[in-house]
Amino acid sequence: MSHKVDVADDIYWADFPGVRSTLSRWNVLPTGASLDEIAKTGLRVKRILNSASDPVESMVRYCEDNPPDLFVRL
């Protein structure tokens, strides 16, 4: 998940979509799942924060160097 943020801006992780709530909405996990239950799914989640002026180009470059198995746009 990538958001364009000016370097001087404060970053609030609560502004990003919640992993557990998203997986619950997709019926991958039950509501209120524990971290252990997430680990058992085999999913690895990485949130990337980038301050580049073009977020799309930045995501493309990142994915070229770090190919994802799944990319989700919310």
Give the domain extent around 11: 2-65
Q: Per-residue confidence at 43, pLDDT binned at 50, 70, 90?
A: confident
> Tell me, what's the pLDDT at 8?
45
What gap in Å lies between CA 38 and CA 56, rounded to an integer? 28
Residue 9 has a pLDDT of 58
Looking at the domain assignment, is residue 74 inside a domain? no
| pLDDT score of 56 | 84
Residue 3 three-state SS = strand
* Encoded amino acid at 52, one letter: A
pLDDT beyond 70 at 55: yes
Looking at the domain assignment, is residue 18 inside a domain? yes
What's the mean pLDDT in 58-72?
Answer: 85
Query: Is the pLDDT score of 50 beyond 50?
Result: yes
Query: Quick one: average pLDDT of 21-40?
Result: 88
What Cα–Cα distance (Å) separates residue 10 from each residue in 2, 34, 59, 63? 15, 28, 21, 25
Whether 70 maps to a domain, the answer reads no
In terms of C-beta density within 10 A (0-12 exposed, 13-18 middle, 19 or more buried), how is residue 34 classed?
A: exposed
